[in-house]
Structure 1
Amino acid sequence: MIVAGLGFSSSATVDSLRAAYNAAAADHDVQALATVADKEGHLALASFAEGLALPLLFVAAADLAGQRTLTCSNRSRATYGTGSVAEASALAAAGNGARLLSPRHISDDRLATCAIAIGGHT
């Protein structure tokens, strides 16, 4: 499975999410979106996922900490114990043996990030 992981600020908009997603997913057949569970209920996220007609998977914060990421945000490291919520969410949701297809992409407004991972059994 190919998963687009999302990390974003509470002030991120649908446009923020779309910009990061479009930059990351341009060359990939994404099958699901994923982010950390504490982002559930974010209105822009729900609207964005609905617009893409993709399932939205929520990853427990504890499952992010063990993921090896290509990039490092100090805020992500302090809050979730991982260098990138987008990268770690994509990896965790894609399953065992997953690997990143590229580092995270950041929206122009810097409010959202997106990374793509592919599962090990794909």
Structure 2
Amino acid sequence: MRVVLGLGLREHADLAGFYDLTARLSAPQDCAIAVPEFRRHLPLIAVLRGLGRQLTLIPRTTLSGVPTMSQSARSLAAYGTGSVAEACALIACPGGVILQPARRSFDNRLTGALAQAPFDAPIINERPHP
């Protein structure tokens, strides 16, 4: 099963929140992770890379207009999509479907969603181009 964990992150997101979130979502340990490119500087991103996690950076411009199950008014106003986490997962997983809609970590610093790619579709490993 090809699964992508899309993340929405706040400035102080940390590994404890990430582990909590992945447990809440029952995310496979080897799943790819998609994060908004504008959050690439966060310390958590460096930690995840250091752990050998496959990361895909999603450009902000590609988030707008991605239909999502979750509909946050804040996310819609700021990014043009109802859930950054769901949008990231779907963009990195072309033709995929949401397995687990957006959920928050215990500390509300991360939001995550799982998407599954069709069996024959590749997971985007490189930065998608708008």
How far 1:65 sits from its partner (Å)? 1.5
Change (3 A) 1:27 1:18: closer
How far 1:35 sits from its partner (Å)? 1.0
User: 2:107 aligned to 106, 109, 114, which one?
Assistant: 109
Unaligned runs of 5+ residues in structure 2 are 121-130
Q: What is the CA deviation profile of residues 21-77 of structure 1, one whole-angstrom value per residue up to 9, with x for unaligned ones?
A: 2211x26465310011101121112213433x2210001112112321111222211
Unaligned runs of 5+ residues in structure 1 are none
Task: Name the amino acid aligned to 1:99.
Answer: V
Number of aligned pairs? 119
Task: Name the amino acid aligned to 1:103.
Answer: P
RMSD: 1.7
Q: Which runs of 4+ in 1 moved over 3 A?
A: 27-30
Q: Which residue of 2 aligns with 1:2?
A: 3
Change (3 A) 1:39 1:27: closer
How far 1:11 sits from its partner (Å)? 1.7
TM-score by length of 2: 0.81
Q: Which residue of 2 aligns with 1:80?
A: 79
What fraction of aligned residue pairs are identical, expressed as a percent?
30
Q: Select between 111-120 and 70-79 the one with higher mean Cα deviation.
A: 70-79
Query: Which structure has the highest helix share of the two?
Result: 1
Q: Which residue of 1 aligns with 2:12?
A: 11
Change (3 A) 1:61 1:17: same
- SS of the residue corresponding to residue 70 of structure 2 reads coil
Alignment of 1:63-102 (within 5 A): 63-95=62-94, 97-102=95-100
Alignment check: 8 A CA contact 1:37 1:59 kept? yes
